[in-house]
Amino acid sequence: MEQLNSTSSPARKKRPKFVQTIVDFFSSIYNIHLFIVRFFREAFVPPFEFKEIVRQCYEVGVRSFTLITVTGFIVGFIFTKQSRPSLVEFGAQSWIPKLVSIAIMRALAPLVTALIASGKVGSSIGAELSSMRVTEQIDAMEVSGTKPFKFLVCTRVLATTITIPILATYTGFIALIGGYLNVAQNEGTSYSAFMEEVFKPLTFVDFNASLIKAIVFGFTIGIVGCYQGYYSNKGTEGVGKAANGAVVTAMFLVFIEEVIIVQITGNFR
């Protein structure tokens, strides 16, 4: 797949800067569209790279396990601690478990997981594929008859799409444990009583919305990291730009998707 390259056009030099910026923006949108279409065209057509998908799931999931655990616990503990004074002021400290469960399961768990993965996984994918492009390993795979897009891109995008929802679910439960420790420290609430209160306000829509968010976030992180790395250039400088671009773009899109999904799912509650 050839990317659009407006830099080689003689008309580029004659365009005002703001016009060229707009042209480059829509050119990038078109290239990303072609990249996503190519992914769906090749990802679900045999032969399937199951072994590589499993390896990438390990890279995304297991290697992020410690960071996700620590982050999830801190988020749950701090959120509960910061929410307590306001509720205590109104004598509503019994609402803390419900407030924590709604905030974590509806929003914080998938969002925090996606942001952590954007920084760790997205940058790793962008830098790895970019370095392979710079050292011409991808070109060598194409010459040898191997399908580099299917092996390098499809496997990574599928891995992030599968693994991020699992990590988000795990983050949610770890955050609830962090919240429980704070509640138990101040209220002496038992674990069973806390968990009973936690799941009361949650509905089927809440769990579905969190799952949809995590899947969309995982796909976004994978596709952005692969796009930035697969089409990087400018030698070693491009490796750093690809890693940085993967992180910044993925985080920005995650926030945009969060707003859109919240608006849609809010109509079903």
- In three-state form (DSSP H/G/I as H, E/B as E, the rest C), the secondary structure along 33-72 is HHHHHHHHHHHCCCCCCHHHHHHHHHHHHHHHHHHHHHHH
What is the predicted pLDDT for the residue at 82? 86
Q: Which tens digits make up the pLDDT trace of 57-90?
A: 998 888 888 999 999 999 999 988 888 887 777 7
Q: What DSSP string describes the chain? A: -PPP-GGG-GGGGGS-HHHHHHHHHHHHHHHHHHHHHHHHHHHTSSSP-HHHHHHHHHHHHGGGHHHHHHHHHHHHHHHHHHHHHHHHHTT-GGGHHHHHHHHIIIIIHHHHHHHHHIIIIIHHHHHHHHHHHHTTHHHHHHHTT--HIIIIIIHHHHHHHHHHHHHHHHHHHHHHHHHHHHHHHHH---HHHHHHHHHSS--HHHHHHHHHHHHHHHHHHHHHHHHHHHT--SHHHHHHHHHHHHHHHHHHHHHHHHHHHHHHHGGG-
Q: pLDDT value at position 13?
A: 55
Neighbour-count burial for 92-112, b at 16+ CB within 10 Å, e otherwise: ebeebbbbbbbbbbbbbbbbb
Residue keyed to tokens 């671009």: 245
Predicted confidence at residue 221, as pLDDT, reads: 94
pLDDT surpassing 80 at residue 32: yes
- Quote the CA–CA distance of 89 and 87 in Å, as a whole number: 5
Q: Are 81 and 36 in contact (CB under 8 A)?
A: no
Of residues 216, 235, 46, 12, the one with CA closest to residue 133 = 235
CA distance 40 to 260: 23
For residues 237 and 13, the model is more confident at 237
pLDDT in tens, 158-202: 999 999 999 999 999 999 999 889 888 887 778 888 888 888 888
Indicate if the pLDDT at residue 266 is higher than 50. yes
| Contacts of residue 259, Cβ cutoff 8 Å, sequence gap at least 6 | none
Give me the pLDDT at residue 214, please: 93
pLDDT tens-digit readout, 110-163: 999 999 999 889 889 988 888 888 888 888 887 877 788 888 999 999 999 999
**263, pLDDT greater than 50:** yes
Q: Say if residue 1's pLDDT is above 80.
A: no
* Both tokens assigned to 106: 């509806």
Which pLDDT band holds residue 252 (cuts at 50, 70, 90)? very high
Condensed to tens digits (0 to 9), the pLDDT of residues 201-240 reads: 888 888 888 999 999 999 999 999 999 988 887 667 778 8
What is the per-residue pLDDT for 116?
Answer: 92
Whether 14 has a pLDDT exceeding 70, the answer reads no
